Amino acid sequence: MSRAATVTRAELEAVRWGPVAAAALTAAGLVALDLTVWPRGPGSELTWLVAGLLGGSAALALDDPAATVTRAVPAGVRMRTAIRLGVAALVVVAWCGYAARVVAAVRADGGTVSWPALALVGLALVCAATGASAVLGAGAEPGAAVAGAAVLVALGLMVVPLPWSVAPYDVGSAGTRETVLWLGVAVLGVGGLVWGARDPQRR
C-alpha cells in the first residue's frame, strides 16, 4: 500500500464517525420529511436546518481527539485536514443533490428558486463551520460546539430580523446581494480553513 493510501486510511480511521453520522443522519431524516410529508415542504424551514446540520457534521469530521498522538504522524496538518475535508466534500455533494430536488419541486409548484443560490447557502455554511472548527483547533474538539452554533445560526437567520432588510434565505435568483453575502461567508470559511490547516509552529 502506498504511503498516501496509508496516511489517508489512518486519518479516516481517526475521524469520530459516530457524531458525524448522527448529525448527517438527522439531516437525512429532515430531508426525507421535507421532501415527503412536511406540509410546508419541499424547501421549508427544514431546508435551512439541514444546511446547519450538514455544516455541523463537516465540522465534527475535523475533530481530532488524539491530536497529541497524531501530531507525531509523518503527515502535515494540511494534508490531514485535506483528507478529513473529504467528508465535507461528500456533505456538499449531498446538499447539492437535495437542493436540486427542492428546486425541481418548487418549480413544479410554480415557484422560483435558483439552484446556484440555494447550493451556495449550504456550501457557505459548511465552509464557515469547518473554517471555525479549524481555527479553534482540531485538538480542542470544537466540533460539538460548532455544530450547535451552526444549527442556531441557521435557525437564527430565519427568526431574527437583520438590518438593511437582508433576507438571507431569499434564493429566488442568483444575482442578489444575499448571494454576495453568502459568497463572502464561504470565502471567510475557506480563509479560516487555510489558516487553521497551517503548521502549528508557523502560526
Partner 1 sequence: MTTVAVSPAPVAQVEERRVLWCLARYEALRLLRHPLFVVAALLFVLIAVTTPFSEYANADYDTAAHGTETNLDWPVLPAFFLGLGGLLAMNRITSSSGRAGDVVRSVPVPGPRRTLALCIACLVPAALALLGAAYVFVFWMVDPPVQSENWGEFSNAELVALMAQGVLAALGGSLLGVLVARWWRWPTAAAVTCVLLILWSVSSLAPDKNLLLTLNHVAAPFSLVASNGENYSWHMGGSLVWKAPYLLGLCGLAVIGACARDAEGQLRRRLVRAAWLVGGFTVACLLAGTVLGPDGFYSWDHR
Shortest reach from residue 65's CB to partner 1, in Å = 10
Shortest reach from residue 143's CB to partner 1, in Å = 6
CB-nearer residue toward partner 1: 5 or 159:
159
Determine which residue in the list 23, 35, 87, 119 makes contact with partner 1, applying CB under 8 A. 23
Determine which residue in the list 160, 164, 202, 203 makes contact with partner 1, applying CB under 8 A. 160
Q: Which residues neighbour 170 within 8 Å (Cβ) at sequence distance 6 or greater?
A: 176, 178
Q: For residues 194 and 203, give the distance between their C-alpha atoms in angstroms, rounded to a whole number.
A: 11
CB-nearer residue toward partner 1: 87 or 179:
87
Q: What does the CA dihedral 93, 101, 57, 7 come to, rounded to 10 degrees?
A: -20
Shortest reach from residue 139's CB to partner 1, in Å = 14
Shortest reach from residue 162's CB to partner 1, in Å = 11
Q: How many CB atoms lie within 10 A of CB 26?
A: 17
Are the beta carbons of 107 and 36 closer than 8 angstroms?
no
Q: For residues 74 and 162, give the distance between their C-alpha atoms in angstroms, rounded to a whole number.
A: 47
Q: For residues 53 and 95, give the distance between their C-alpha atoms in angstroms, rounded to a whole number.
A: 11
Shortest reach from residue 140's CB to partner 1, in Å = 11
| Cell of residue 24, nine digits | 448527517
Q: Which window, 7-15, 85-93, 113-121, 139-147, contacts partner 1 (CB under 8 A)?
A: 139-147
Site for partner 1 in 31-70 (CB under 8 A): 33, 39, 45-46, 49, 52-53, 56, 60, 63
SS (H, E, C) 78-96: HHHHHHHHHHHHHHHHHHH
Site for partner 1 in 72-111 (CB under 8 A): none
| Cell of residue 92, nine digits | 456538499
Chain residues in the site for partner 1 (CB under 8 A): 16, 18-19, 22-23, 26, 30, 33, 39, 45-46, 49, 52-53, 56, 60, 63, 141, 143-145, 147-152, 155-156, 159-161
